[in-house]
Structure 1
């Protein structure tokens, strides 16, 4: 897989980031789920869920897919929320800075086609509820990326596992001098952790 050069460089930076033992323990639950599915030759469906499906869950869907592809693991990566908003433009700007190529279709809640390699189909992202028809209806892990969604959605229909992997919301820095820096910091953290997860998966 030939990643775009800027993206390849950011992936190398992400792999060099330290991950605390506390975070590794959080991520181990996701590693175990993916490994079990791989061992059983079953489809791996991950649905990253956050309240508005606009920032953290979108970053996670994208980086989850790219990190899996980077290590040759075939997964289906989805995202959803409890309410529909839009893939936040600040988050879109951040993934562009990381070297993704992005095209946009529609207004209001547009679809974004996120390209990471000339050899691979784009990741299609837009804001939606977690049980949208675009997502797997069942047989998936619900990866809860924000505390609000985790605490307010005690039951996710169709999920065979529920795995909290929470991230701080970069929204707190909207319209400040630190906006771009903090969006990129969160994206880099998610990239680092998704790369760590899939680096631990052993293929048959």
Structure 2
């Protein structure tokens, strides 16, 4: 088990939404995602969300973790979330650290210097989140899914995703740009909070609309 310095995850989740600052264009994007998810659920369909970025190491993983947290928080049973990339790298160590800082607990299930497999848990977690870097169409990512691309490279490199029933481009700032700077932890936490806030925004509205 990896040690954590935990704060209240629920408090961070709630505060992220309260502090969320987004423009009208972004609100329209998030609302369109809400409408699509809600309409699929109303058709009595199981909804699969696949967050995709190039390396499946930072932004897409943060999205998957917070989406799973939101599903438990709002007790939404007919949605599942996954993540993937166009290349395989690893669930990056600074991504692990920023999630630990807000209360998530990590256990190594399969050790690998290249691409370890983690189980992530949190208070009131119903089932652990199993995470590692993988291609977006990995067999573990159930299909057909709604594709949500979180970086410009993934959007460009995935001109056609045959497994996707719909696709949304939802970019976030890449904390990788600060990996070798004094602001590394701050910038990872900033992206972590932005993603938590927007995921909270989405699933709060999904819960209210179904």
TM-score, reference length from structure 2: 0.91
Task: State the alpha-carbon separation in 2 of the partners of residues 46 and 119 from structure 1.
Answer: 19
User: 1:5 deviation in Å?
Assistant: 6.3
* 1:43 corresponds to which of 42, 46, 53: 46
- Deviation, 1:118, is 4.1
Corresponding position of 2:8: 6
The unaligned stretches of length 5 or more in structure 1 are: none
Q: Give the match for residue 72 of structure 1.
A: 75
Equivalent pair of 1:170/1:186 in contact (CA under 8 Å): yes
Deviation larger for 189-198 or 106-115: 106-115
Equivalent residues of 1:83, 1:128 under 8 A apart: yes
1:148 aligns with 2:153: yes
Distance in 2 (alpha carbons) for counterparts of 1:5 and 1:30: 30
1:29 aligns with 2:32: yes
Distance across 2 between alignment mates of 1:181 and 1:112: 23
Distance in structure 1 (CA, Å) of the matches to 2:87 and 2:125: 33
2:167 is matched with 162
Judge which range, 34-43 or 117-126, deviates more.
117-126
* Matched residues, number: 200
Match 1:96 to one of 100, 119, 123: 100
Structure 1 residue aligned with 2:3 = none
TM-score in terms of structure 1 length: 0.93
Which range moves more in the overlay, 32-41 or 127-136? 32-41
What is the deviation of 1:35? 0.5
Residue equivalent to 1:187: 192
Q: Within 1, Cα distance between the matches of 2:72 and 2:188? A: 23
2-structure distance, mates of 1:23, 1:172: 23
CA distance in structure 1 between the partners assigned to 2:76 and 2:127 by the alignment: 15
The 1-side partners of 2:40 and 2:102 are apart by 30
Instruction: Confirm or deny: 8 A CA contact 2:7 2:101 kept in the other structure.
Output: no
Choose from 18, 21, 26 the match for 2:20: 18
The superposition leaves residues 108-133 of structure 1 with CA deviations (integer Å, 9 ceiling, x where unpaired) of 20111110234411111100001111
Matched, 1:112 2:118: yes
Taking the aligned partners of 1:203 and 1:38, their CA distance within structure 2 comes to 10
C-alpha deviation, 1:135, in angstroms: 0.6
CA RMSD of aligned residues (A): 1.5
